[in-house]
Structure 1
């Protein structure tokens, strides 16, 4: 006797706009972000992307003062029904049991640009992080297979690029120099 067919339930079948609660209740472990009721779903980055992210995570945590933690791929609330997942976020006094960090506690976000998320990381996310008041935004792009950091500080509600190099020195949220080329190897 054949086993009965399992009914396939699509976790993304949904009527109407999505809410933060809807996204957090999804039974999937995917990169799912929320922007004004719509989902942004993207694949995880390449092995190079993941390697650099993990090395940056270690470097930031080694330099972080007590009370600050670098966290990988966490939900950051940048507004009502707006959840973004930066590659890294430095959070002040994070609640380690929480599913979401409010942008008011985020001091730095890092986005490593991949072909599948380039537009979002260059145009959409910086505006949303700036509107939410995140003071420092670091975007990393690969140019001829070498990582280049674009460091931005929040000035009068918008990001201003203050450095563009393969070695980036942060003054805030704490002093640290990141040699992206070495970290990516």
Structure 2
């Protein structure tokens, strides 16, 4: 049996020295774990099984509650600004271009991040800051411990917590009730 061959990503992934651009990022092999923040690739390991199960169930609950004018997507590519592309765990998107590879932040009405031990600071500090700068009105952070949700609304350029607990009642952009302990079972 032949030894496995090492393959470089397009453009020489390991040898890439200049800041990364959206075009460089789009040329990478498909991977749900690589985001682009201001010219730097941010990589995360695959999520744990409980994280993935919770992501799927939150997405399904939001999809069941969302009006047909909104689309609920798991791990979509979202362009916040030029060379700033992230992958939230779940996003609710208006005016969905069904053929797009990347969705614009202006079309995203709600993002959901499920905090994992390996990316806690990213989900609790960096991503809310980036989402706020991009003008995404609603941000739901889900802590797996408990579990508990923290729903935030963008007010004057910063997120303000409007609901917290094991059961999160969402009133906008549509009504939904997320019983997180039930969804995490």
Shift in Å, 1:6: 6.8
Partner of residue 125, structure 2: 123
Shift in Å, 1:86: 0.3
Checking the alignment, whether the CA contact within 8 Å between 2:32 and 2:75 is kept in structure 1 is no
Q: 1:87 aligns with which of 86, 89, 97?
A: 89
Structure 1 segments unaligned to the other structure (5+ residues):
none
Structure 2 segments unaligned to the other structure (5+ residues):
none
Distance 2:117 2:7 in 1: 30
Q: Which moved more, 1:80-89 or 1:7-16?
A: 7-16
Structure 1 length normalisation: TM-score? 0.93
Alignment deviations for residues 5-63 of structure 1 (CA, whole Å, 9 cap, x no partner) = 77522322223110111111102424110001000000121110000110111111111
Partner of residue 176, structure 1: 176
Q: 1:111 aligns with which of 79, 90, 113?
A: 113
Moved over 3 A (4+): none
Checking the alignment, whether the CA contact within 8 Å between 1:30 and 1:41 is kept in structure 2 is no
How many residues in Structure 1 have an aligned counterpart in Structure 2?
181
Structure 2 length normalisation: TM-score? 0.93
2:144 match: secondary structure: strand
1:116 match: secondary structure: helix
1:97 match: secondary structure: coil
Alignment deviations for residues 106-144 of structure 1 (CA, whole Å, 9 cap, x no partner) = 00000000011100001100010001000000000122x
**Is residue 24 of structure 2 the alignment partner of residue 19 of structure 1?**
no
Distance 1:137 1:149 in 2: 10
Shift in Å, 1:164: 1.3
Shift in Å, 1:173: 1.2
Cα distance, 1:6–1:48 mapped onto 2, change above 3 Å: closer
Distance 1:147 1:28 in 2: 30
Distance 1:96 1:119 in 2: 32
1:1-185 aligned within 5 A: 8-11=6-9, 12-13=13-14, 14-143=16-145, 146-185=146-185
Q: Please tell me the root mean square deviation across aligned C-alpha atoms, in Å.
A: 1.4
